[in-house]
Amino acid sequence: MVEGLSHITFVVKNLDLMEELLVKIFDAKKVYDSGDDTFSISRERFFDIAGLWIAIMEGVSQTEKSYNHVAFKIDDAQYDDYLGRIKTLGLEIKPGRERVEGEGRSIYFYDFDNHMFELHTGTLTQRLWRYKSGK
């Protein structure tokens, strides 16, 4: 039986650059740094973001961008603050998709290795209720 999400791993070309992104945008707390040791396939660092284990491993960046992404929940009142954090790092921000009122707002952006992230203000319950009620 699956008990929940264990961790999410991102392969990145520059551990320091990704650490800066995780700390400045997501308020991540670094909990481990392998240094020059390689217990796994490469040097790695672990972070805690709101109780979620995020791992970054040194390696080759993704060559293509896609809509595959990880979405983090934020409060709508903090939307502009997070947008500013992303802009400060010079990251590519994608236009949000068309939405129906009541399902929340999103900020989509790419990191330095072509991983897409989303910061979303809504919940699954809100989205299902809104979709059920029609356009």
Do residues 104 and 49 both lie within one domain? no
44 is catalytic: yes
Among 3, 19, 20, 44, the one annotated catalytic: 44
CATH code for the domain of 14? 3.10.180.10
Spans in the chain with pLDDT lower than 50: none
Do residues 69 and 134 both lie within one domain? yes
Measured CA to CA, the distance from residue 75 to residue 104 in angstroms comes to 10
Q: Are 92 and 42 in contact (CB under 8 A)?
A: no
Closest CA to 117 of 53, 69, 76: 69
Which residues are 58's β-sheet partners? 12
Q: Mean pLDDT score of the chain, rounded to an integer?
A: 91
Instruction: Give the model confidence (pLDDT) of 87-115 as tens digits.
Output: 999 999 998 766 666 678 899 999 999 99
Q: Domain tally for the chain?
A: 2
pLDDT of residue 111: 96
| Segments forming the whole domain that contains residue 19 | 1-60
